[in-house]
Amino acid sequence: MTDNQIIEETLRYLSDQSYNYAILIDGEWGCGKTYFIQNVLKGCIEEAEREQEHPRKIKYISLYGCKSIQDIQENIVWGFEEEAREKLKKKAGTNSAASKFGGNLLLSSRKIGSAVWKKFSDGNNAYDVASDWFTMKSYIFIFDDIERCDCPLNELFGYINGLVEHEIAKVILVAYEKEISVQEPSAQRELQYLLALNEKINWSEKNGNNEYGVKGQDGKVGLEILEKRRRILFPDEEVDAEYRKIREKLIGVTLHYQPDVKSIIRTLIEDSSIGIQIKEILLDNSDSFFAVMDINNHHNLRTFQFFLSKICYLYTKFSVMQFEAEYEKELLYFLVEDCFRWSVQFKGNIPVPTERWERASYEAGKKSKAIKLYVETGEFKEEEFKEDLRKYVESELKNKLPDNDPLNLLYKQYYYRTQKWCEERLEEAKKKLQNGKYSLAVYVKFIVLIADLIEIGFPESYMTDVQTLMVENITRMDAPVKLNDDVYYIQGEERKQRVKSVIDEINMVIVARDEQIKQETIGEMLFSEKWVEKLVKYTESDYYRSSTDVAIFVKSDASRWIKAITEADAEDIDLFRYWLRRQFHFNVVRGNFKSDLPVIKKIMDGIKAEEENDLIKRANLTWLKKQIGNIIESYKET
């Protein structure tokens, strides 16, 4: 039922005087029942009651964790706190000890107040006292979390039935009914299993089959047989039947709540205290939030509230970080999407797909490990978070051309535009290229486009100009990566060869620049205090697409390596040995070991472990020399 249908039926029930019954609003956990009742239904009821001659007040009472009828009664009593204060004020002129006691009691917390009442009330039940003060039919009771109440079901429904039949009160129950009917048997399950193990019971069936009396060789009853015995003694169907019997006496109408999740999501966003900028992005994404929930069959609004609390904190951290202005909004969209996907997976216990293609799609949808860590544990690592965002800018945003980008426009429209229009867009694209506004990822696209234009008559000089600008950019880059030279998709052998030739020439420049950067970087690292940590990070960074094919030791003089190693403390030497084991794994052959070998030999010869005074450091240097010797020995054949 929709919100309006439930409101209409509830108001009809409240005005119905034909017979006494309660109504049940049924809905799954987290679907927004409580939110709807607190923020929508209560207001509609109050508005309708104001038009009555004797308007009734609403008492909303959660039964979460109540273990007895007395607990429920206490919750009801504390629901009358406001009215009780008013009544005590009217008695303020008297010296009644009960009035003073009650007034002080209501100033206490519920837990303290309940304890004080039990100690000083001469055995009187707080509910009995309160019910003498108030007429129950003057109230509309809303009992929420019925399925989370630990009180026996027959006692709970019997008590509520007393309110309905004897007190003539209107009662609205709120629950996930599917969980009510199974509550009773599970509460008694331990005793049921004990009785099922009783040796005095004859388990033989009418045909003489003793299936339920079967025991193992050790004389013990198996779990499967035990469960079958329990079901014979205590059929779940009978428990459900008992629930239906109690239910039919009390509940006259059941209203199945089907929330407008999209609408509630927007309301939650609009009511949140999050910043205006991020709020606009959240509202823009409201449909995609619902889509993610739908795909994962997880329409739990508590998950969305959980997400809002997480994204609010992440936004405060993001807002003080510095990123290029042109990427800021896209980064926020990424932040919101990634945080929401991790939230749904975590709160919905969504399993990781096992199928290869599904897993690949799943992994591609979530990118930030720092966001995942914060969502799942509450631990926020600022540097990792910032690095994840930086990588997203480099790998995604800088490679994504806006719709109005001149290169993008040319690529999609040149074949039906005028020559002048194409020339104007080309000049605009060349200017952006010259200013370093295009990433390496779009260079191949640019080259292919120029090849297409040359084929229909544009001058060859365009390719020369573009290639020159690309080379100039690469010589200034910190971590250039080779262009993809697989041009199988290009039609025509001549066009394919033209593109391949340009890509190969540019890749030669990239390789030279990469080697230059590594040569400079390794040398600089060995002069720093934390050189081993930097070396570890360096070989695990984007500089290396395949670390087993990259020469490392040759990037600096052997004397510099020896000095760095012999001046390091035992802890750093141990870390260096760990790094060395990873670089020269026993089952991996390094492609460029031949280049490193001369330097490695010099390092081994240059380390004089016996000259070290500190015994621990001497031991580490000795182990390191032995490790290097084993590496050299293992590579002799290769």
- DSSP per position, 545-558: S-GGGS--GGGS-H
608, pLDDT greater than 50: yes
Mean pLDDT (whole number) for 360-375? 74
Question: What is d(CA 37, CA 10) in angstroms, rounded to the nearest whole number?
Answer: 11
461, pLDDT greater than 80: yes
Residues 6 or more apart whose Cβ sits within 8 Å of residue 44: 7, 10, 11
pLDDT at 518: 67
Highest mean pLDDT among 108-117, 387-396, 531-540, 587-596: 387-396
pLDDT at 256: 83
65, pLDDT greater than 50: yes
436, pLDDT greater than 80: yes
Q: Which residues in 577-587 are b (16+ Cβ under 10 Å) and which e? A: bebeeebbeee
Count Cβ atoms below 10 Å from residue 556 Cβ, excluding itself: 21
pLDDT at 112: 40
31, pLDDT greater than 90: no
The mean predicted confidence, pLDDT, of the chain is 79
Count Cβ atoms below 10 Å from residue 181 Cβ, excluding itself: 18
pLDDT band at 16 (very low <50, low <70, confident <90, very high): confident
469, pLDDT greater than 60: yes
- For residue 9, the one-letter residue type is E
- Contact (CB, 8 A) for 426 and 443: no
161, pLDDT greater than 50: yes
pLDDT at 637: 60
Mean pLDDT (whole number) for 586-614? 82
Question: What is d(CA 605, CA 582) in angstroms, rounded to the nearest whole number?
Answer: 22
pLDDT at 540: 63
pLDDT band at 128 (very low <50, low <70, confident <90, very high): low
- For residue 272, the SS3 value is coil
pLDDT at 109: 44
pLDDT digits (tens, 9 = 90+) for 292-321: 888 888 888 889 889 999 999 999 999 888
- Contact (CB, 8 A) for 407 and 438: yes
Residues 6 or more apart whose Cβ sits within 8 Å of residue 367: 334, 338, 388, 392
The alpha carbon dihedral of 439, 442, 446, 448 has a sign of positive
Structural Rg of the chain based on CA atoms: 38
Give me the percent of the chain exceeding a pLDDT of 70: 79
pLDDT at 197: 81
Higher pLDDT residue, 625 or 207? 625
What's the N-to-C CA distance of the chain in angstroms? Answer: 74
484, pLDDT greater than 50: yes
Question: What is d(CA 46, CA 55) in angstroms, rounded to the nearest whole number?
Answer: 8
623, pLDDT greater than 90: yes
Lowest mean pLDDT among 144-148, 348-352, 459-463: 348-352
pLDDT at 395: 74
pLDDT at 544: 44
Q: How many helices (H) and strands (E) does the chain have?
A: 31, 5
Tokens describing residue 418: 């005028």
The alpha carbon dihedral of 125, 126, 127, 128 has a sign of positive
Highest mean pLDDT among 85-94, 422-431, 436-445, 588-597: 422-431
pLDDT band at 595 (very low <50, low <70, confident <90, very high): confident
403, pLDDT greater than 50: yes
Mean pLDDT (whole number) for 4-22? 85
pLDDT at 407: 92
Question: What is d(CA 155, CA 246) in angstroms, rounded to the nearest whole number?
Answer: 10
Tokens describing residue 516: 């230059």
Higher pLDDT residue, 261 or 182? 261
Question: What is d(CA 194, CA 448) in angstroms, rounded to the nearest whole number?
Answer: 78
Higher pLDDT residue, 358 or 518? 518
Taking alpha carbons only, the member of 128, 127, 120, 76 closest to residue 98 is 120
Higher pLDDT residue, 81 or 497? 497
Count Cβ atoms below 10 Å from residue 507 Cβ, excluding itself: 17
CA distances in angstroms from 374 to 307, 346, 349, 477, listed in the order given: 11, 11, 16, 33
- If you search the block for the tokens 């040398």, which residue do you land on? 523
Mean pLDDT (whole number) for 454-464? 93
pLDDT at 51: 87
Q: Residue 156, exposed/middle/buried by CB under 10 A (0-12, 13-18, 19+)?
A: buried
Mean pLDDT (whole number) for 126-134? 51
CA dihedral defined by 406, 412, 417, 421, rounded to 10 degrees? 10
198, pLDDT greater than 50: yes
Higher pLDDT residue, 413 or 543? 413
pLDDT at 360: 53
